[in-house]
Amino acid sequence: MLQLERLARIDHIREEAAIQMTKEAEGREARQKPLCHIPPMEGDLVLLRRLLLDQCRGSKLEARWEGPYMLSDLAYHGKMGRLLDFNTGEVVRVKKGALGDRVHLNDLKIYQQRKDQTVAGIEELDILEYEQNDAKRQQEETFMASHVQGTFRYVEWIEKAKGIG
């Protein structure tokens, strides 16, 4: 009899612990911030950060970003890539040394073209390719939202940021 009461008490404690753990997990998920930075993909138009300006304090009015360039040839780990110049079609040499033609994705940001501005060297085919890459990116965003994040808060945040929803 004492053994049954003890087992019932243990089961009750385990049930309460499981309920508490699920409440804590839901609370953590609700407090979790959405992913703000979406890394560029191969074929995207990107801007390159001018690293020399980080060291120069006297040139605070200079542009911190240069470009746009097209990101091509991502490394197998997806953290580095090469940049192509539109006018010449050649790989942009960024640094001296062994990794001179490769750029880390932390030094890039996605170029967003203004509606009234045109970029020299981009033909209609390039714009079509960019739109296809944008559609591919949207598919990956929805995949990340449903599978990696586990909720659709990420997609709602993206739509709110783009002004869709």
With tokens 């753990």, the residue in question is: 21
Q: What is the DSSP letter of 91?
A: B
pLDDT at residue 21 is higher than 80: yes
Residue 39 lies in a domain: no
With tokens 């020399």, the residue in question is: 52
Q: With the C-alpha atoms ordered 18, 21, 27, 32, is the resulting torsion angle positive or negative?
A: negative
Q: What is the mean pLDDT of residues 113-130?
A: 59
For residue 48, the cross-strand partners are: 66, 108
Contact 50, 62 (CB under 8 A): yes
Let me know whether 84 and 136 are in one domain: yes
Contact 49, 64 (CB under 8 A): yes
| pLDDT score recorded for residue 102 | 86
Contact 162, 138 (CB under 8 A): no
| pLDDT score recorded for residue 125 | 46
Integer Cα distance of 134 and 111 in angstroms: 12
Q: What is the mean pLDDT of residues 136-144?
A: 68
Domain, as residue range, for 65: 45-162
* Higher-scoring residue by pLDDT: 54, 156: 54
pLDDT at residue 152 is higher than 60: no
pLDDT at residue 15 is higher than 70: yes
Let me know whether 58 and 111 are in one domain: yes
Residue 139 lies in a domain: yes
* Higher-scoring residue by pLDDT: 134, 28: 28
Let me know whether 63 and 138 are in one domain: yes
pLDDT at residue 31 is higher than 80: yes
Residue 38 lies in a domain: no
Q: Which whole-number Å values give the CA distances from 52 to 58, 64, 83, 104, 155, in the listed order?
A: 12, 9, 18, 15, 36
User: pLDDT band at residue 144, thresholds of 50, 70 and 90?
Assistant: low
Q: Lowest-pLDDT range, 40-49, 77-86, 109-118?
A: 109-118
Q: pLDDT tens-digit profile of 40-80? A: 888 888 998 888 887 777 777 888 898 888 888 888 888 88
Number of domains in the chain: 2
Residue 13 lies in a domain: yes
Let me know whether 18 and 95 are in one domain: no
Say whether the peptide bond before residue 68 is cis (omega within 30 degrees of 0). Answer: yes
| pLDDT score recorded for residue 142 | 67
- Tell me which H or E stretch contains 49: strand 45-49
